[in-house]
Amino acid sequence: MQQYFVESNQTVEMGDHLDLGPQDSYHLVKVLRGQIGQEVIVVLGDQKYLARLVKNNQDCAQVQIVQTLKPSLTQTELPVEVVIACGLSKQDKIEQIVQKATECGMTAFQPLALKRDVVKWDQKKAQTKRSRLEKIAQAAAEQSKRLTVPEIAPLKQLSQWVADQPEDALCLYAYEEKAKEGDHAQLKVAIRQLQPGQKVRIVFGSEGGFDPEEAAYLEAHGFRACSLGPRILRAETAPIYALSAISYALEL
């Protein structure tokens, strides 16, 4: 059953009508050819509801709440808060990262301007990309039946972002030099020590990886280097690998 997120500051009750946003309205009515009476799931805050389509306008579809649904937040979200920070990759790779990382439970995404990035974003492109990534994250969250849509943060410099991290967060960065050394235990050890509700921050380079100065800067500010196994992964694969490892350890 299709799921949509609805923004509303009001408390909803059975029988209330809610308007879907323009993008979701078009998807339900035009793409899925939604008919009056069709059932969908809508999410408000941390609660899911069963709703029926009562107005099939492709610009502003309207649904009626008919039932409160379970599960609770803890059953659909990772038990820890994981922020994925990545350098800027070529073509649509960063879109792939956001889509798949959302499906795997990412809490937020932080694009970073790193020294070895192949591509550069000016202010206009950064704004356009952020808007695009927000739409991708919402669609992926709806498809994977999540209760929250990951936040897409504005582009930052590495030093600017690192300075904002909470002191109690587990901070890691995926470093291929660790893999070359054959030291693959750090990620496993770190994940085993995680507690429910803990904050996790993982940084990934783009295709060019990290400049040695960036790696040293991360180390100096409490980030621990970790290997993602003996194989060198693509920039778009590494974040999904790490999230999958966390999910396996904490959810399965």
- Closest among 87, 94, 98, 83 to 211, alpha carbons compared: 87
pLDDT at 7: 84
CATH 2.40.240.20 in the chain is located at 3-71
Average pLDDT, whole number, for the chain?
Answer: 93
CATH 3.40.1280.10 in the chain is located at 81-251
Maximum alpha-carbon separation in the chain? 61
pLDDT at 74: 54
Cβ-contact 42, 6 below 8 angstroms: yes
Q: Return the amino acid letter for 222.
A: G
Residues of the chain short of pLDDT 70, as ranges, are 71-74, 179
pLDDT at 72: 63
pLDDT 10s digits, 165-220? 998 999 999 998 876 777 788 899 999 999 999 999 999 999 989 999 999 999 99
Fold of 3-71: Ribosomal Protein L25; Chain P (2.40.240)
Fold of 81-251: Alpha/beta knot (3.40.1280)
